[in-house]
Structure 1
Amino acid sequence: MATQTMSPPAPPMGLRRWAVVVTAISAAIIELIDTSIVNVGLTDIAGNLGVTIEDVAWVVTSYAIANVIVIPMTGFLQRYFGRKNYYIGSIILFTVASYGCGLSDSLWMLILFRFLQGVGGGALLSTSQGLMFDAFPPAQRPVASALFGMGIVLGPTLGPTLGGYIIDNYHWSWMFYINVPIGILAVFMSSTFIDKKEDEININRRAIHIDQIGILLLAVGIGSLQYVLERGEADDWFDSKTILWLSVAAIIAIPLFVWWELRGTREPVVDLRTLKNRNLTIGSILIVVVGYGLFTSVLLFPLFAQRIVGLTATKTGQLLIPGGLVTLPMFAIVGRMLAKGVSPRLIVALGYVAFGSFCFMMSTYNADASSGDFIQALIIRGIGLALVNVPLINQSVSTLEPRQLPTGIAIVNMMRQIGGAFGVAITNTYVTQRTAVHRSDLVSNLQPGDMITTERITALTQGLVARGMNAFDAVSGAYKTLDAIISRQALMLAYLDTFQLAGMFFVVTSPLLLLLKRKKVDAATAKAIADAAH
């Protein structure tokens, strides 16, 4: 296909530029919100649909599987359909699927629409980043990175906040209906304000090779891995035949996918040769840790606040707001620091320190922790995420050739999602194991005839008698109450251990920062990142 060399189109100006910015950030945020918004509503959904919590967890799993499959293919799909067409089509799919989720009256109907929602959402995060870069001239693209970084962090943070408010005040279906007006507005604004790039106007799809085998192996391998990580703990890992067979599928399909993309086809759907670049490889590992920390904290904090401290879903969500508000100016500060030439490695290192500090602070709290304690820790977390995300993404792709940038950024986005999946799997498994260990340790200290144990049982019995319970039932109730106290204490200690483990991930991987080559993202590379349309 013949190509023409033309100067790149000028970025949009004035209100048109900010219309593109609002559209791109809004689409990215609603996609990321939907990765976490349903977490606080699973109990209500399960009760309404008449299924177990274990079954309704598929609502989360199906979305994550679709997301992680689509993200690495975004570059190919944009080339095939054209970026604007693919973006608008994905928003429409996401919006329609959101409406379908709200209408669902059965579990499998909800799972189907959540999967379709994940397919549409997979494009929103990646493509929005390219739209943001295109909206600014090269000198101002650190600002674009900072603005987009807000969406990356605020989405998972706002999800539990918004979900908690909806669950406490409305029907759970509104967690999905809320996407509909935003999606309709995004389609209108995208159609009106986003321009097609030169190579989108006359696409010769016959000249574009479709790597069907690569797509199949990617879907089977990454999809199976995501399922195993999401559902492993709930299904007792390899005691489940489904987990066992999908683990085998992942073990076979992923190496075959790597081989096929490197040796079996001349036009791979994901060009894995880009991983020969040291910055991309090291950056991808660090991005996995950041994804692990982000999604683990989003999962673990609400559980700790609600199950240990006893806060409502709404109150738990409100505690996330101050950290999110602090994050906003921090992204602007980070963008200016990068523009002035401050070392990205230094900024990321400070972010690692901040996020690690958050984890270790949370590992010292107990059931008496106050709202102020949580707010302080979450503000530090927000600062850490702002310092880490933008410079780490930029540095990961800064030494790639322009033609490698689409694949490089797709890999970075995929690694964040996989890091989040690893985080959920590790957290669930570790909490279960450590709860059993702590419960055993606590119970071993309760000896028959022990004075302290006897005094506690007596006090609990007397309290129940004072409430009108007969003496026989009061003794039985006292033992049940003591058992509940032990279980809660064991769970709290397990949560503290898990926060500490997350902090250790940041400590252990921090030396990898020294291996990143320092290279400022120049105007040409920044433009290439924009052209990557991720």
Structure 2
Amino acid sequence: MQQESLIEYGSRRVIITLTAIVCALLEIVDTTIVNVALNDMKGNLGATTSEVGWVITAYAIGNVIIIPLTSWLSQQFGRRNYFAASIILFTICSFLCGNATTINELIIFRFLQGVGGGALLVTSQTIITESYPPEKRSMAQAIYGLGVIVGPTLGPPLGGYIIDTFESWPLIFYINIPLGVIATLLTLQYVRSPKYGEKKAASEIDWLGIGLLALFVGSLQLVLEKGQDEDWFSSPMISLFTALAVLGGFFFIWREWTAKNPVVQLRVLKNSNLRVGTVLSFIMGFGLYGSTFIIPLYTQATLGWTATQAGVLMVPAALMTAFMMPVIAQLMQRGVPQQFLVAAGMLVFFFFCYWGFKIITPDTAKANFFWMLMMRGIGMGLLFIPITALSLSGLKGKQIGEGAAFTGMMRQLGGSFGIAAITTFMARQTMQHRADLVSHIDVTNPADLTRVAAMQQNFMAHGLPPNLAEQFAYKALDGGVMKQAMVLSYMDVFWYIGVMFLLCVPFVMLVRSNKKKGEKLDLSNAH
């Protein structure tokens, strides 16, 4: 068998495993490491919150577009060569990201970095799985799974440490360079390619489908990111890209249903469990990436924490997820239905969001976050493996790979959609809450006048003349209103994400499970 021929032993297998894990870590760490550097990027590059959100979404879009192409590219150029080329692209773009002088440059290089990174995550799992004999495949999956869990854990604290210690956000990209060089050399030396048989002609790839996918996703993201700034459909640009997104989406679906070799195999969605699984993957990506985006942003922008403090805050929750993974795997092996675990995960994630909604204030203490985030860790542990298992439970053979590619793409797309939607929603809600709060301030109200007078006296005590002290007092009052409005918008985000997860619970419970007790689901092709 093809997989049997790629089995490695001894030190060679150790080197291949470490190389693949390092590459997967590079990809995953770079998804989250920039979260705690967004404020520094905003200040250094003169960008708005919506613009700097593109640093994350551009990377995710690059991932989404390349994932469906990975199988064809591996066959065309050989897995080893394609894997090495992806590492080289990722490493070069890391250097270019660090050297970016404008926000637009950084966004372009992050997109290209995401194109290189998409192959690293997808191919690393296959390389590790095929390097182990069948009886040790579960160990290979466990090794890979721990790497996947550690990645998001390392990102924020590592990024925070670099920002606070060296005060230079480009370093978060430069640290990829030596690891990328070493991984490239080891890949070329040790990784082997399977024999795929005759190569397919370049004319057989669905170039039109790729173009329509890029047009659809790119236009949709631009509308979500820029819509608020451009006053939505009063802007000709937003109207144009909305039309492009709708047309791109329509013709992409039409193309994939009619093409001989579609880039995304939509026919596999005839399986009902996979249809539900792709929706759940999208929602999980929305919650996973949305919450890892909003929490560091809140703690830094509102609470004034350092980047390191914001990053370290997420570590216990990620470790809890890592702890939960083998527990969930054991429950599934003993026959606990996947839909029960997914429903429990959705419910736990709702309570995490509701907890966040209740504790968010302009000065929430650090201790208040611990158990809330531990609940997030439990929820993610309950969701990650069972959603993949549920999605693939009705598929066989080649369909498993096609289904896994689809759920992986939807998870990434859900994340980029979530971040774009959250930044736009927060901008609108902050302005709405500010208007509501200002309407309750009355310059003739004795209580408001007393508050302004107290602040004026405070500024005068620090040496300001009465007229300037009064101006500063009103500015401070306005600043307090704005801060409270932002806190209310963060609360709204937690509430709406929580409700979205809660509404999924009854639908998940209606899904049939095709997995019998004691049956082991093959996730070797899961992305």
When residues 533 and 32 of structure 1 are mapped into structure 2, their CA distance, relative to the original with a 3 A threshold, is same
Do structure 1's residue 382 and structure 2's residue 377 form an aligned pair? Answer: yes
Residue 332, structure 1, aligned to residue 326, structure 2: yes
2:82 is matched with 86
Shift of 1:493: 1.2
- Partner of 1:198, secondary structure, is coil
- Higher mean Cα deviation, 291-300 or 342-351? 342-351
2:209 to 211, 214, 235: 214
Equivalent residue number for residue 67 of structure 1: 63
Q: Which residue of 1 aligns with 2:273?
A: 279
> Does residue 509 in structure 1 map to residue 519 in structure 2?
no
CA distance in 1, matches of 2:8, 2:516: 21
Q: Counterparts of 2:134 and 2:510 in 1: how far apart (Å)?
A: 27
Q: 1:341 aligns with which of 335, 340, 352?
A: 335
Does residue 1:162 correspond to 2:158, yes or no?
A: yes
Aligned amino acid, residue 412 of structure 2: Q
Under a length normalisation based on structure 2, what TM-score does the superposition of the two structures give? 0.91
Instruction: Give the equivalent residue in structure 2 for 1:432.
Output: 427
**Amino acid of the structure 2 residue aligned with 1:33:** V
Name stretches of at least 5 consecutive residues in structure 1 with no aligned partner.
Answer: none
1:274, distance to aligned residue in structure 2 (A): 0.5
Instruction: Map 1:133-212 onto structure 2 (within 5 A).
Output: 133-138=129-134, 141=137, 144-170=140-166, 171-199=168-196, 202-206=197-201, 209-212=204-207
- Whole-angstrom distance in 2 between the partners of 1:302 and 1:432: 17
The 1-side partners of 2:3 and 2:371 are apart by: 49
Q: Deviations over 1:152-184 (max 9, x none)?
A: 454345333222222222222111111112222
Residues 221 and 420 in structure 2, CA contact (< 8 A), matched pair in contact too: no
Deviates more, 1:324-333 or 1:248-257: 324-333
SS of structure 2 residue aligned to 1:446 = coil
Deviations 1:209-249 (A, max 9, x none): 22222222222222322333344434443344333222211
Contact residue 66 and residue 118 of structure 1 kept, 8 A: yes
Which segment is superposed worse, 86-95 or 513-522?
Answer: 513-522
Counterpart in 2 of 1:125?
121
**CA–CA distance in structure 2, aligned partners of residues 429 and 237 of structure 1:** 11
Provide the rounded CA distance (Å) in 2 between the counterparts of 1:161 and 1:410. Answer: 30
Contact 1:82 1:203 in 2 (8 A): no
Aligned equivalent of 2:238? 243
* Aligned-pair CA distance for 1:463: 1.1
Is the Cα–Cα contact under 8 Å of residues 225 and 421 in structure 2 kept in the other structure? no
Whether the 8 Å CA contact 1:139–1:523 is kept in 2: the answer is no
| Percent identity between the two aligned chains | 41
Alignment of 1:441-480 (within 5 A): 441-480=436-475
C-alpha deviation, 1:109, in angstroms: 4.2
In 2, the alpha carbon distance for the partners of 1:502 and 1:153 equals 22
Deviation at 1:469, TM superposition (A): 1.3
Instruction: Identify the residue that residue 34 of structure 1 maps to in structure 2.
Output: 30
Cα root mean square deviation, aligned: 2.8
Which residue among 226, 251, 265 is the counterpart of 1:256? Answer: 251
How does the TM-score come out when normalised to structure 1?
0.90
Q: Provide structure 2 residue ranges, at least 5 long, that are not aligned to the other structure.
A: none
Q: Note if contact 1:282-1:515 (Cα within 8 Å) is conserved in structure 2.
A: no
Shift of 1:189: 3.5
One-letter amino acid matched to 2:172: M
Q: Give the partner amino acid of 1:173.
A: P
Provide the C-alpha distance between the structure 2 equivalents of 1:79 and 1:234, rounded to a whole number of angstroms. Answer: 44
Answer yes or no: is the 8 Å Cα contact 1:457–1:479 preserved in 2.
yes
Q: Within 2, Cα distance between the matches of 1:197 and 1:515?
A: 41
Work out whether 1:113 is the aligned partner of 2:109: yes
Q: Give the aligned partner of residue 350 of structure 2.
A: 356
